[in-house]
């Protein structure tokens, strides 16, 4: 809408850098959210909401080391709030509708991962799907690196127990 106000270059530069971010990250963030939430539709809504908010705060977010991490966190928080508010979906979260459920091919692993708390699932997905470092995961989730390590450790121990595996440590 700006014409000759002098805002055009700034606006365009902002749009341009956001577009690059959007194109290269939307799919990854969606997949990470879907794997974390176990729900494809919720993840799709969450990533779109998170992208909108990312643009709203793009001046700040574009300066972050891990912009995708911030967007993932916004999406996860949004979805978490939505789950909390929509009580029916909280229940459905435990038994997701088949059409939107995200399932692994390995049923045992699928069951075990879904039994993990959401926070633990987020750490597992960011570390083992996006291959982010402990620090990147910590920044994305707004927690300390030590917390990431302990959550991951507990999650893996829980999965081993669920899967009847011996502790490899």
Partner 1 sequence: MRLEDRIRNELHDTAERLALDPGEYRRAIETARRRRQRRIIKALSGMIVVAGLVVIVLALRPGSEVVVSPSTTTPTTPTTPTTAAPGPTTTALPVVTVGAAVVTAGPRGISWTVLGTDGATGVLESDPYYEAISWVESDGEGGLVFTHEVSPLPWDQGTLLWLPAGAVAPQPVAAPPPQGLIMPIGVSNGRVYYRLDSQGTSTVIGVDLDGQNQEIVLPATSELIAASLSGSVLAVVRGIDCAEIDLFATDGQQMPDGFPDCYPASINDLALSGDSLYVLEDGADGRVLRHLTTSGQDLGASPVDGWQIEVLDSETVAVGGTTIAVGAFGGDSFVPQTEIEGSSTFALVPELRVDPAASLGSGLGEIPCTPLDLPALASQGLPEAVEAKRQQIFELASGCEMGRLAELVLEDNAAFTFGGEEDPVRTWIASARYGFDVLAMSTRILNSDPAPDGAGVYSWPAVHATNSEEDWQALSGILSAAEFEQYYQFRESGYLGLRLGIDPDGRLVYLIAGD
By CB under 8 A, name the binding residues for partner 1.
Answer: 15, 18-19, 22-23, 26-27, 30-32, 34-35, 40, 44, 47-49, 51-57, 60-61, 63-65, 70, 74, 77-78, 81-82, 84-91, 102-106, 109-110, 113, 124-125, 128-129, 135, 139, 142, 144-145, 156, 159-160, 163, 165, 168
Residue 13 or 165: the one with the smaller Cβ distance to partner 1 is 165
Query: CB of residue 106 vs partner 1: minimum separation in angstroms?
Result: 6
Q: Which residue has the tokens 């440590």?
A: 169
Q: Among residues 4 and 21, whose Cβ is nearest to partner 1?
A: 21
User: E strand or H helix at 126, and its extent?
Assistant: helix 118-128
Q: How far is the CB of 4 from partner 1 (least distance, A)?
A: 19
Phi, psi of 8 (to 5 degrees): -55, -50
Distance CA 113, CA 24 (A): 27
Our CB check for partner 1 shows the closer of 5 and 105 to be 105
φ/ψ bin of 38: left (φ > 0), alpha (ψ from -120 to 50), beta (otherwise): left
What is Dmax (Cα atoms) for the chain?
A: 68
Quick one: 6 or 164, whose CB is closer to partner 1? 164
Q: How far is the CB of 6 from partner 1 (least distance, A)?
A: 18
Interior angle at CA 55, CA 62 and CA 6, nearest 5: 85
3 state DSSP class of 101: strand
Write down the least CB distance from residue 56 to partner 1, Å.
4
Minimum Å distance from CB 48 to partner 1?
7
Question: Residue 6 or 31: which CB sits closer to partner 1?
Answer: 31
CA–CA dist 51, 20 (Å, integer): 12
Task: Check: CB of residue 74 under 8 Å from CB of residue 163.
Answer: no
């Amino acid at each position: 809408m700006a014409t000759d106000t002098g805002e055009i270059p700034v606006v365009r530069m902002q749009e341009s850098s956001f577009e690059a971010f959007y194109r290269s990250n939307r799919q990854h963030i969606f997949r990470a959210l879907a794997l974390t939430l176990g729900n494809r539709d919720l993840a799709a809504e969450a990533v779109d909401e998170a992208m909108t908010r990312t643009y709203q705060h793009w001046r700040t977010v574009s300066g972050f080391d891990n912009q995708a991490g911030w967007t993932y966190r916004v999406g996860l928080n949004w979805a978490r709030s939505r789950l909390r508010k929509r009580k029916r979906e909280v229940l459905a979260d435990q038994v997701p509708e088949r059409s939107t459920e995200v399932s692994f091919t390995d049923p045992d692993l699928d069951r075990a991962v879904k039994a993990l708390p959401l926070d633990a699932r987020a750490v597992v997905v960011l570390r083992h799907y996006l291959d982010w470092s402990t620090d990147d995961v910590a920044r994305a989730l707004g927690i300390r690196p030590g917390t990431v390590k302990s959550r991951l450790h507990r999650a893996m121990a829980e999965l081993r127990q669920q899967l009847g595996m011996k502790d490899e440590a």
